[in-house]
Every structure is written in C-alpha cells, then in structure tokens.
Amino acid sequence: MSKKSNWPARLVFVFALLCVLCGQLAAAARQPNVIVIMADDLGYETIGANGGTSYKTPVLDKLAAAGARFEHCYVQPLCTPTRVQLMTGQYNVRNYINFGNMDPKAVTFGNLFKQAGYATCITGKWQLGQDPELPKKYGFDEHCLWQHTRRPPRYANAGLEINGVEKDYTNGEYGPDLVNDYALKFVARQKDKPFFLYYPMMLTHSPYQPTPDSKTWDPKAKGENVNKADANFGDMVEYMDKLIGKLVARLDQLGLRESTLLIFLGDNGTGKGTRSMMGDKVVIGGKGATTSFGMRVPLIASWPGKITDGKVSADLVDSTDILPTICDAAGVKLPADLKMDGRSFLPQLRGEKGSPREWIYSWYSPRQGADKVVRECAFNRDFKLYRTGDFFDLRADLGEKSPLKVAALTGEAAAAAKRLQAALDQFKDARPAHLRDGKEDAPAAGAKKKKKNKAK
C-alpha cells in the first residue's frame, strides 16, 4: 500500500484532534458559573468540618475537604443587614435603611453579573422589600422567593412567589424542596452558558419544625405555629445539607462541577439560645448579638481543579468580601465609581497569600426607623474595640462580658486598640447625610404594594 493511502485516515485523526482541542479551549475561555448559597441562622459551630459534633453535614464536609474552608468568616448578627452587605459589597454604614428593606437604587452582584452577560437567578428567602419589581431591579432574570410581597408559611405547605406570581402549596409540599428544585431546573436550563445563582436558603431559621425526613413530619401541617420543637433543629441542619447535595449532584450530572465556583456561608449566628456541641464544648447560638456567637459563620468554597484541596485558612473574611471575590473569579469588572469595602479572597482560594484583612468593621443597627441604636466596632481574631470605647480581649473573653479600659492597656493589647481605633476612624463620616437624618427612601415593611397575578 502506498504512503498516500494513509492520508485520509490521518486527516480524520487530525481533524478530530483539532475538534477536541477547540472544545477544550472554548471550555477554558468560557466564564465560570458562580453559585452563592447562604443558610439562614447557621453559626460556625454547626458544621462537621468546623469541628461541630451535634449534626451530620457530610455534603458540606466533603466540599470543604476537597476545596477550602475559612475559620474566621464574620457577617452581621441579623439577616437583612448581612444580605445587604453580601449583595452590595458595602458595609451597612453606607447603605443600610431598615430591617426588611434594601435601597432600590443599590447595585448588587446580580446587576454586575447580568451586565457581564450572565443568566441570573435568585431562589429562596427574600426579605429585601415588597416592591414586585425589586428582583429585576437588582439584576435577577429569574426569581423563586419566599417573603417577597407577603409572608406565608415557609416550610410545610409553603407559599412562594415565582417570577412575580403567587403560588400556594397545599398537598404536603415542603418550601425548601420547592426552591431547591427551582435551583436545579435553573442550572439545567442554563447549562450551555455562564450563570449566576444566588441561593439564600430558608433553612435553618425558626420555627424549628419537622422536615420530610423527620419522624414527626406532618404533610398536613399548616402555618408556622405548629409542631415546633428545639429537637427539630438538627433535622433542619441535616436536611439543608441534603439539599445542597442535590444541587452538587445536578452539577456533576450536567458536567458543570469544574466550571462552577460554589460558595457556602451562613447569614448570622445560630438562633439565640440554640445549643450545639463541638466535642465536649457547648456553643450557645447568639443570633442578634455582636459577639462571635452572633457573627461567626461557616464559609466553604468549592471549585474542582481551581481550589487547593483541603485548604484551611485562618484569614479574616466578612460578608462584603463575597461580591469582589466572585467578580474576580468570573472576570466581572467592578464599576470605577462603585465604593467597595470588600476585598477578593480569590488568591487565598488558589493557594496564594493574597491580601488578607487586618481587621473587620461592623456598623449594626437593624431597626433603623423604629430606633436608632447603633453598635459599631472593629475587630481581629484576638481583640475588639467598640465606638463607645469598650475593648475586649477575645482570647480570654469571647462572650464580651468584661470590657477593658483602653487607657489601661499595655503591650499587644494597647497596639491592637490603636489599630482598631484607626479602622473605626475610617468610617466616622461614612454614613450618608440623608440616612443620618432618618430620611430613608425605601417603603416601610407594611407599605401598600402593587396588585399581582395569583396562581393556586
């Protein structure tokens, strides 16, 4: 056989090889998908990977073991304040209005990803204002929400609003299942182009009611004042983990895991008074308090092939850092005129040193409009200083029971107080005048809303 007779086969082989290479280049050039999952009322101590021993969280533990987890992630002590910081990358001092609302003019990560060509979706708990147009204003193409323009049950026989249409369920459906199913369908619909999914879960917020996996589950239960028991909290934590597992499995099924950055965190500490164990150590949930028990939450990141396996970071991270990190990962540019308090921790995810924080700042006043009480502080892993002058050595007084006088400090504590005071000074004039004067523009929680379609 002549040499020329081999050319057709060789051409076919070369063509096939080129197709494979082109496909790999196209996949590499495609922007990554981004999923941000935020659990409701879930403190650091609840996750097995963090040393928690009260509950089983195998999915999150596995994500941490193959990805990265942070030991010092802090958010605001209550849900709405954290959601505002997370979505805008700004500290509450700059833009927080009042509980249950966010400035309709705010620029969110939804806006930034949509402008960058991403398909965008939010599914889960809303609590950011009752205007039916707000999800679109904040950049979300699709939305499946609880507590948008009304507050129906969230668990057994839940009520939701799906792309602006009210939907009430009466056949034993479980709200967290419904919003999770919407997330699964969204990623399947968008599998061929980059997507951004923001998934603020309804679990594990009180009322502590049975899940479909609980022995006491009642598919006929109605409302949030039935079947409540502290013992149900553990079932809710484990069901939350199970739902995240379903989402991860869907990504695997669609071949999207390696092209998807997934970040998981809590929105504040565990519900006040809820007892959890870390070995022989009892941790009492401190939601609503500016102590570590109200602000320290789990933070886990997973991105196969991009994040160093099993990385554990002691760097300080807060809720304003999520926006710049995911934008950094996706190549989404931040507007030059957008004031950003957060900083990207993408380098740390890649195993690099990055630019770790020296301190975290918090301006906390959830009931603006009802009262003007502000708790303002700056802190690092070891020390905390409040605007009032109260200083705490967190190594010896994590519960902040015995404030120290700054004037009496010496050595390391005195140096820390000086640095933290400098941090506080950076924000002394950061509150906008129209908010300092109490002239908030957002509607009150009970404001009249537009009429919507309703589907049963």
Q: Which domains does the chain have, with CATH numbers?
A: 31-363 (3.40.720.10), 375-442 (no CATH)
Find, among 446, 333, 453, the residue nearest to 101 by Cα: 446
Find, among 141, 139, 163, 166, the residue nearest to 151 by Cα: 166
Cα 351 to chain center, whole Å?
22
Mean pLDDT of the chain: 92
Are residues 404 and 413 in contact, defined by beta-carbon separation less than 8 angstroms?
Answer: yes
Query: Could you tell me the two tokens for 368?
Result: 């603006």
In the three-class reduction of DSSP (H, G, I as helix; E, B as strand; rest coil), residue 284 is classed as strand
Which residues in the chain come in under a pLDDT of 70?
1-29, 437-456
In the three-class reduction of DSSP (H, G, I as helix; E, B as strand; rest coil), residue 47 is classed as coil
Q: What is the pLDDT of residues 39-49, one digit of tens each?
A: 999 999 999 99
Q: What is the pLDDT of residues 114-132, one digit of tens each?
A: 999 999 999 999 999 999 9
Query: Could you tell me the two tokens for 366?
Result: 């959830």
Number of Cβ within 10 Å of residue 414's Cβ equals 13
Beta bridge partners of 167: 160, 455
Integer Cα distance of 17 and 4 in angstroms: 20
Largest CA distance in the chain: 96
